[in-house]
Amino acid sequence: MMSDSKYIEIFNVAQSFKTAKGIFPALRDINLNIAKGEFVALIGHSGCGKSTLLNLVAGLTVPSAGTLIAANKEIAGPGPDRAMVFQNHSLLPWMTCEGNIMLAVERVFGKLETREQLRARTAAALELVGLSHAAHKRPGEISGGMKQRVGIARALSMEPKVLLMDEPFGALDALTRAKLQDELLAIVAQTHSTVIMVTHDVDEAVLLSDKIVMLTNGPAATIGEVLSVELPRPRNRIELAEDNHYQQYRKAVIDFLYTRQGHVEKAA
Ligand SMILES: Nc1ncnc2c1ncn2[C@@H]1O[C@H](COP(=O)(O)OP(=O)(O)OP(=O)(O)O)[C@@H](O)[C@H]1O
C-alpha cells in the first residue's frame, strides 16, 4: 500500500562531485518526505545545492550515497512521471508552441493513443496556460513569460506525478512573475500536482508552498529547517500582503537565510 504522505522519500542522500581540485561534497544527510499533492519550495543561498537536489529527484544524476524513492519505486533515471521545467524554458526554436508540446505528448502517449487524442492533449495543455492563441507561433515570436508558460504546459501535458521546477520564473520581470505565480496556483489547484520548486524568492516560496525546505550553505549543505506553511487556499497575494501569519512565515525564512545562514559568498 502506498502512503500518500510519503510520495517522495529521500533517505540519507549525499552528493559529491569529482572536480580538478578533488572531491567536492555538495549535499549531505538529506532526509525528506513529500506527500502527494504537496507543493514544496527549496530555498537557500546561491550554490548551496538546490538544483543538485532537484536533479537527483529528476533522476538526471545518481546520489553518491542514500536512496530516493518516488511512488514506492527507487528513482533510477529520468521518467515521464517526473517532468522538469527549467528557468530557460528549453523550447526547440524551430518548432511552434504546439509542436514543442506535441513532441512531449507523443513521447509519453504516442504508442497508446490516436493522433486526434494526442492533438487534444496538446490543445488542452495550451489552454491550461492560456496560450491557445499562440499555438502556431515559434518561441522567437513570443515573450519570455509566454515561453515559460509553454515550458509549464509541456511539462503538464505529460501528466507527470511530480512537477519539478528549477527557478521557473527567475528570468522574468516582477509583474510577469506575479502573474505566472497566480496562474501556477490556479493550475495546481486544478491538477493537484505534487510540485518541487527551486526558488530564491522568499515571497514566492511562502505564497505557493505547503512546505519550505531551507538548505544550509555549502559545501556539504543539508536541510537546516522545514517550515510548514499553513495558509488556507486559495491564496490571494493582495490579501496575504497584510496577513499576520504570512508575515511570520516570511520572517522565519528571512531569519533563516540572512541571520542563521548569513555568512554567504566566501564559500562560493
Ligand atoms: N557537476 C558538477 N561538478 C562539480 N561541482 C558541481 C557540479 N554540479 C554542482 N556543483 C557544485 O555543487 C554546489 C551546488 O550547486 P547547485 O547548482 O546545486 O546550487 P544551487 O543551490 O542550485 O545554486 P544557484 O541558486 O546559484 O542556482 C555548487 O558549489 C556547485 O559548484
Give the closest residue to 99 by CA, choosing from 128, 119, 79. Answer: 119
Alpha-carbon Rg for the chain in angstroms? 19
Residue 19, judged by CB atoms within 10 A of its CB (0-12, 13-18, 19+), counts as: exposed
Domain ranges of the chain: 1-81+162-268, 92-159
CB-ligand 1 contact for 46 (6 Å cutoff): yes
| pLDDT tens series, the chain, 268 aa | 556 788 999 999 999 999 999 999 999 999 999 999 999 999 999 999 999 999 999 999 999 999 999 999 999 999 989 999 988 778 999 999 999 999 999 999 999 999 999 999 999 999 988 999 999 999 999 999 999 999 999 999 998 989 999 999 988 889 988 989 998 999 899 889 999 999 999 999 999 999 999 999 989 999 999 999 999 999 999 999 999 999 999 999 999 999 888 865 544 4
Alpha-carbon distance 194 to 160, whole Å? 9
State residue 164 phi and psi, 5-degree precision.
-110, 125
Residue nearest to atom 8 of ligand 1 (CA): 52
Residue 231 grid cell: 495558509
Ligand 1 centroid distance, CA of 47 (Å): 5
Q: How far is the CA of 163 from the centre of ligand 1 (A)?
A: 21
Residue located nearest, by CA, to atom 12 of ligand 1: 26
Query: Which among 87, 89, 85, 83 is positioned nearest to 105, based on CA atoms?
Result: 83
Say how many Å lie between the CA of residue 26 and the centre of ligand 1. Answer: 7
Q: How far is the CA of 81 from the centre of ligand 1 (A)?
A: 24
Residue to mutate (ligand 1; options 15, 16, 24, 62; most atoms within 8 A of CB): 24
Taking CA atoms only, the protein residue closest to ligand 1 atom 30 is: 47
Instruction: Tell me if 49 CB under 6 Å of ligand 1.
Output: yes
Q: Which of 13, 19, 50, 87 for a ligand 1 pocket mutation test, highest count of atoms within 8 Å of Cβ?
A: 50
Closest residue by Cα to residue 91 from 59, 126, 41, 62: 126
CATH code at 1-81+162-268: 3.40.50.300
**CA distances (Å), origin 109, targets 56, 71, 72, 103, 154:** 25, 20, 23, 10, 13
For residue 20, how far is its CA from the centre of ligand 1 (angstroms)?
A: 15
Strand partners, 16: 25
Q: Which residue has the cell 492563441?
A: 133
Q: Is the CB of 248 under 6 A from ligand 1?
A: no
Q: Ligand 1 center to residue 221 CA distance, Å?
A: 11
